Structure 1
């Protein structure tokens, strides 16, 4: 691990770990000896990071020069906490960890008064029913969406039939039971919504559908909106 990468990892550990963080824990996170860790702490302080603490007491990042100062009012703070708390409960492990890290980074840019509002937010999210198990590897599906590359999936439909399909992944949506993939299905030549918990496998391919993702997603959303508006009067 290069020194810049190590210092970056140390800063992130100071942001996200419960405070104060012991030298032993920080050394473990950055894979160095405690002696090297003390030198790295001094380097971060020299670069402008305000880090309180000392050997034997633990360390707390009280001012982060790497992030711009943020100004949120109280209701905006509550909205951030609620939104990221919901992601932690509904998302897969990688997404949940990212939500926790994001909130810690936001908090690190704020004065102590606003940090206390995050810790003691009055809004909370708790879902009694756990979401249905997600796909085997959500990170692969996310990456395929970002890279605009086709996926080969093995999918079990509601009737239990298993098919192998190539799809163009457009977006991941969260519904009551869990997550679903909005995609163009090359097998059926139409838009389909694939429930993540019914995917047996999802393998990335070298086929790119760039730059069609935005157009395809717009058309799919338009199609869903039209179907909903036509169905709404019948339900009324």
Structure 2
């Protein structure tokens, strides 16, 4: 492995580890000696990488380090472009714009030959089967998720029955034929799935969740791991999770 490739690989390994990782572990993953690893760490630090630690203690990469002109493999470029094309086809306009801006930033720092490979990737995404039909702003949902703020929701189920709910938004799923909000519903005392095209009105409240969203997301995933239909498998309204309390 060339030294430039090895330095990039070292950065990727450090990014994967959220906590301090020993020099022996890093050297083992890269297949290099511990002395070579120390030299590579020093080289990255000299280039501006905020790597903290020392021999015998371990190392951690602090967030915020920007790489110089990027190098990607063919497979990585294909994955980037395929992901962007999927977002462009299935996400709402603000997310698509954000993806376009991110792709432009990546493209701007790529060497010319890699930029050409990125733009000529042959992996395509099929057509979307529905058109956007939401009357609410999905950006408000994403903001509430990030800020862990409650939402007041007016919702119509599959037969048109209306309801008013206070929910704690946990995740927003994008599918080929719908978009689905995962949320804890105060009135149902359980996780429910709300199709965004059936939302009639939405307001973000000042009140925050009493629990951390990350913990709730983990709990919902564990609930979904049980035997049940996938989200969106039936055209219902809010679909109760398998282990959640259920009531009319």
Identify if the C-alpha distance between structure 1 residues 223 and 181 changes in structure 2 by more than 3 Å, giving closer, same or farther: same
Question: Which residue number in structure 1 is paired with residue 192 of structure 2?
Answer: 192
Question: What TM-score does the superposition give when structure 2 sets the normalisation length?
Answer: 0.62
Question: Which residue number in structure 2 is paired with residue 26 of structure 1?
Answer: none
Q: Give CA-to-partner distance per residue, 1:199-235, whole Å, 9 cap, x none.
A: 0111000110154211211111111111349xxxxxx
The answer to whether the 8 A contact 2:174-2:180 is kept is yes
| C-alpha distance in structure 1 between counterparts of 2:220 and 2:99, whole Å | 28
The answer to whether the 8 A contact 1:155-1:163 is kept is yes
| C-alpha distance in structure 1 between counterparts of 2:128 and 2:137, whole Å | 24
The answer to whether the 8 A contact 1:85-1:99 is kept is no
Question: Which residue number in structure 2 is paired with residue 3 of structure 1?
Answer: none
| C-alpha distance in structure 1 between counterparts of 2:67 and 2:134, whole Å | 33
Question: Which residue number in structure 2 is paired with residue 81 of structure 1?
Answer: 81
The answer to whether the 8 A contact 2:170-2:182 is kept is yes
Give, in angstroms, the shift of residue 131 of structure 1.
4.5
Tell me the secondary structure at the aligned position of residue 70 of structure 2.
coil
Question: Which residue number in structure 2 is paired with residue 171 of structure 1?
Answer: 171
Question: What TM-score does the superposition give when structure 1 sets the normalisation length?
Answer: 0.65
Structure 2 unaligned blocks of 5 or more: 1-65, 230-248
Give, in angstroms, the shift of residue 83 of structure 1.
0.5
Q: CA RMSD in A?
A: 1.7
| C-alpha distance in structure 2 between counterparts of 1:128 and 1:89, whole Å | 7
Structure 1 unaligned blocks of 5 or more: 1-65, 230-236
Tell me the secondary structure at the aligned position of residue 125 of structure 1.
coil
Question: Which residue number in structure 2 is paired with residue 57 of structure 1?
Answer: none
Tell me the secondary structure at the aligned position of residue 226 of structure 1.
coil
Question: Which residue number in structure 2 is paired with residue 107 of structure 1?
Answer: 107
Greater fraction helix: 1
The answer to whether the 8 A contact 2:167-2:183 is kept is yes
Structural mapping, 1:96-175, within 5 Å:
96-175=96-175
| C-alpha distance in structure 2 between counterparts of 1:74 and 1:210, whole Å | 45
Tell me the secondary structure at the aligned position of residue 97 of structure 2.
helix
| C-alpha distance in structure 1 between counterparts of 2:83 and 2:152, whole Å | 32
Identify if the C-alpha distance between structure 1 residues 214 and 128 changes in structure 2 by more than 3 Å, giving closer, same or farther: closer
| C-alpha distance in structure 1 between counterparts of 2:93 and 2:73, whole Å | 30
Q: Give CA-to-partner distance per residue, 1:143-171, whole Å, 9 cap, x none.
A: 00000000001001112101010000001
Identify if the C-alpha distance between structure 1 residues 88 and 152 changes in structure 2 by more than 3 Å, giving closer, same or farther: same
The answer to whether the 8 A contact 1:178-1:196 is kept is yes
The answer to whether the 8 A contact 1:149-1:208 is kept is yes
Identify if the C-alpha distance between structure 1 residues 211 and 174 changes in structure 2 by more than 3 Å, giving closer, same or farther: same
- Is 2:181 aligned against 1:181? yes
The answer to whether the 8 A contact 2:90-2:176 is kept is no
Q: Give CA-to-partner distance per residue, 1:121-148, whole Å, 9 cap, x none.
A: 1112231523452351011000000000
| C-alpha distance in structure 1 between counterparts of 2:135 and 2:98, whole Å | 18
The answer to whether the 8 A contact 2:128-2:176 is kept is no
Question: Which residue number in structure 2 is paired with residue 213 of structure 1?
Answer: 213
